Amino acid sequence: MYLPDKRIIFPSAFLVILGIICLIFFSRSPVLIVVDDSFSMMYGPSRLLKRQVSVSLKLFRPVRLVTVSEGSSFDVISISVKNAVKNPYTVFFPYRYEQAAAHFYDDNPGIPVAVLCGRHRLNPQRPELTVIRSNVTSDYYVAGAAATILSEGNTGHLLFFHDGLIINAEREYVMSGIKDTESYMDKTDTTEFVNPRRSIFFINVSSNYSQWENVVCAIINGAANDYFEKTHNVPSIIFSWIDPQYTPNRVKIIIDDSPLTVVVRALEEIKTGKTEILLNSEFSVISGRINDKKTVEKLEKLFKNPEIYKKTTPESTDQPIMQ
């Protein structure tokens, strides 16, 4: 009796199974994310493709980007989304295209539509649209904690550059992260070294700040183009979607709440029926820019557990604030 060669059976079976998996994957309705040309350029083409593939595999369904030109009218954007695929699983729109999101929803009421607001304090006018926001409480707290770790052992003050819209409660989140992390360091430091207390100054990002001598770390939340042109070497943390390779070497940490970063967690929350969702941003240390391994380990531990230093209730601090 003839027995098929195992060297043929196993590879053939593998290819059949792989083919079935691919067939199922591509037959599932895709997730659509509306982006514009500036996002694609800033995020970086290679990085964008890698993240798109990664997210698609995690969701086990295709994730497609619908790229539109900046300045396109809301009806043109809505039509572009409608023409991209017949029945998408969910469609994500940036907050600036809320009108297009509402227009698309009116034409396709059975398809979930979400508006990505990031850290903007905006309230979409249509209750049918799911609102995705960045968890500012956690993001600012962790940014303060990360700046404290990054500047450990150095005497000086911290800077927080903002876009002019920061409110007092958000300042408190940053300062609580600093204070809690300093207290934790005091308790866990086995040496006789006393970690210095850090004051923090809040500066409008549009100001022409030049007093860098005693700055040990800077946090930037706002347009960073002018900041990148500065010649100082102060370790920096930025809230941005930018590809790390486009940043100067002094940028050590990027805080990212871009669509491809939040989409997996957003879909998990949308399944539960929530219409307003808060999500933590993704904090990442830029590879090779921090030489001290212990500092990297502390930062990565913090990013995996954003509440590691957190107290049950935020406390006010006596640290000075400069507008």
Domain end among 134, 153, 188? 134
Residue 120 domain-assigned (yes or no): yes
Residue 34 domain-assigned (yes or no): yes
The whole-chain average pLDDT of the chain stands at 86
**pLDDT, tens digit (0-9, with 9 covering 90-100), for 244-295:** 999 999 999 999 999 999 999 999 999 898 889 999 999 999 989 999 999 9
Distance (Å, whole) CA 118 – CA 38: 17
Residue 273 domain-assigned (yes or no): no
Distance (Å, whole) CA 140 – CA 172: 9
Q: Which of 29, 32, 45, 122 is nearest to 77 (CA)?
A: 32
Q: Are residues 52 and 194 in the same domain?
A: no
Enclosing domain of residue 192: 136-255+282-304
Q: Are residues 293 and 154 in the same domain?
A: yes
User: How many domains does the chain contain in total?
Assistant: 2
Handedness of CA 40, 46, 49, 51 (dihedral sign): negative
3-state DSSP assignment of residue 229: coil
**pLDDT, tens digit (0-9, with 9 covering 90-100), for 64-121:** 999 998 888 988 999 999 999 989 999 999 999 999 999 999 999 989 999 999 988 7
pTM, two decimals, is 0.86
Q: DSSP letter string over 78-144? A: HHHHHHH-SS-SEEEEEGGGHHHHHHHHHH-TTS-EEEEEET-----S-TTSEEEEE-HHHHHHHHH
Q: Are residues 202 and 216 in the same domain?
A: yes
Length of the chain: 323
